[in-house]
Amino acid sequence: MKDNREFLEGVYKKAEMLERERVEKSRIYKRYVKISSMAAAIVIIVPLLLFKGQNSVPKGYTEIPQIARMFTIDDPMISFHEADYIVVGETKKIDKSQYVKENNYIYTDITIDIEKVFLGDIHKDEIILRVRGGKVEKEKVFSQMEGEFKKGSKSLLFLQKEEGVYYLVNDGEGQFLEVEKDVFIDKQGNKYNIDDIKDNIDRR
């Protein structure tokens, strides 16, 4: 009888231990699923919110998707290598955006005051920079503007020239915004002072 009782107690203890393990595994699994779901939600929702904030379409306007002139490469060194002109300029004037209905795209001309020329022959005090995108009130059409331009803001600009008009190289990657005097930041958050700019040009 004693042997049978000890045997049964052993069976019960084993069953109890297995049940505890099962419950614990279930808790861990549920916790893992919960954490994984939250992480997945963050990965999906945050970029969507950022994207929405950056590409919000004005009420009553029709959005026209941008068509890139070339492939964009998220490497700031590409801008140094592709540019025919590298300058520091201040945004003086932003013209009204123009809608080219035949080709279904929008462009905006921006007058840039040239403060310093690092590369290329520019002998003018100001140039016209043409960027893709803008907002056209007459046709109620909108396209996200290439680059970030505000009157009075300064940028390090990487340019190419076609028929007397200047364009950013590598799309919006060809603009580094000034964050403090003579210090500019690229889209990846890297900062460049005057010496950094000259060194990168020398390594072309």
- What pLDDT band is residue 84 in, cutting at 50, 70 and 90? very high
* Tens digit of each residue's pLDDT (9 = 90 or more) over 158-195: 999 998 899 999 877 899 999 999 999 999 999 999 99
Long-range contacts of 100-107 (CB under 8 A, 24+ apart): 101/139, 104/64, 105/64, 105/66, 105/67, 105/132, 105/143, 106/64, 106/132, 106/133, 106/134, 106/135, 106/136, 106/141, 106/142, 106/143, 107/131, 107/132, 107/133, 107/134
Outline where 67-153 has alpha helix (H).
76-82
Domain ranges within the chain, ordered by starting residue: 1-54, 63-202
> Which pTM was predicted?
0.68
Average of per-residue pLDDT across 36-53: 41
Token pair 């915004």 in the structure block, residue: 177
Residue 89 has pLDDT above 90, yes or no: yes
Write down the pLDDT at residue 172: 79
For residues 193 and 178, is the Cβ–Cβ distance under 8 A?
no
pLDDT confidence tier of residue 131, bands split at 50, 70 and 90: very high
Residue 117, pLDDT > 70, answer yes
We find that the CATH architecture of domain 63-202 is Beta Barrel (2.40)
Average pLDDT, the chain: 79
